[in-house]
Amino acid sequence: MLYSFKFCGSVMVDANIKKRVILMRFVIVAGTPSSGKTSVMVHTIRHLLKNGLVVAACKIDCLQTSDDVKYSRLGIPVAVGLSDYICPDHFYVSNLEEVELWAREQNADVLVLETAGLCHRCAPAVHDCLSVCVIDNLIGIDTPKKVGPMLGTADIVVITKGDIVSQAEREVFRHKVEMENPQARILDINGLTGQGVLALKNEIIDSKELGSITGKELKNSMPAAICSYCAGETMIGQSHQMGLVKKVDFRRGMDA
């Protein structure tokens, strides 16, 4: 059964869900704009579904997105969080608990959370969650060193659009990525055809299962704004949040 939610604002989650301890793989996907994040994950999710896994997807964006339509075509639960006037990554980190509880309500084995990736200072990676950064060969040879924590703290770096550049350009770009994050596994994936996504699917299946996102820590502090995370807070959970905090409204769009 397909569920499609569009949400902004506060969220209401069944308190009984919080009492359940269900292990779930939490995959965080970030990357530069138009790098093919959604296309890569659609192909990957299709293979996860073939393995019999229940997958839920959430897209965090700024003003509007149509990526939820692409995910919905897979027949999976989909949610969209629009940050509106708030930095999308601050909106994202302030809603991690709510998104996790929503995914557990869908009985998901895997939650794929895709962020907007509009700021090169974004730091969405969380300890014990699989962090994937998607960038493409066309963004510029020196761009990897400008991306910041979004690339530097990722567990997996997916490089797309390799079919458009030469072998030499691919090798130089890959080397630049390795310089910024030597610990990450680098995967070359074609977002149009899905070639290479089996390796990403296997990484997701082999990733650590999470009991709860609450209390987990960001790998890097968030960019400055006007909330508790601006002052260097890295702990997840409402008790650590102060200032301008906007919550997800999962009820929006349920009747659409």
Orientation angle between helical segments 37-50 and 197-206, nearest 10 degrees:
60
How much is the average pLDDT of 150-168? Answer: 94
pTM given for the model: 0.81
CATH number of 4-240: 3.40.50.300
> Left (φ > 0), alpha (ψ -120 to 50) or beta: where does 14 sit?
beta
Specify whether the CB–CB gap between 31 and 154 falls below 8 A: no
% of the chain exceeding 90 in pLDDT: 59
- Would you kindly state where each structural domain of the chain is located, as residue ranges? 4-240
- Dump pLDDT digits (tens) for 29-86: 998 888 999 999 999 999 999 999 999 999 998 888 888 999 999 999 999 999 887 7
Confidence label for 17 from pLDDT (cuts 50, 70 and 90): very low
The predicted pLDDT at position 92 comes to 87
State the DSSP code for 10.
-
Residue 10 has pLDDT above 50, yes or no: no
What pLDDT, in 10s, does the model give residues 189-210? Answer: 999 999 999 999 999 999 999 9
- Residues 241, 242, 248, CA angle at the centre, nearest 5°? 60
pLDDT digits (tens, 9 = 90+) for 225-248: 677 877 788 899 999 988 878 888
pLDDT at 12 over 50: no
Q: Between the ranges 32-36, 128-132, 146-150, 241-245, where is the mean pLDDT highest?
A: 128-132
Show Cβ contacts of residue 26 under 8 Å, excluding neighbours closer than 6 positions: 100, 111, 113, 126, 128, 129, 130, 210, 213
Summary mean pLDDT of the chain: 86
- d(C-alpha 197, C-alpha 187), whole Å: 8
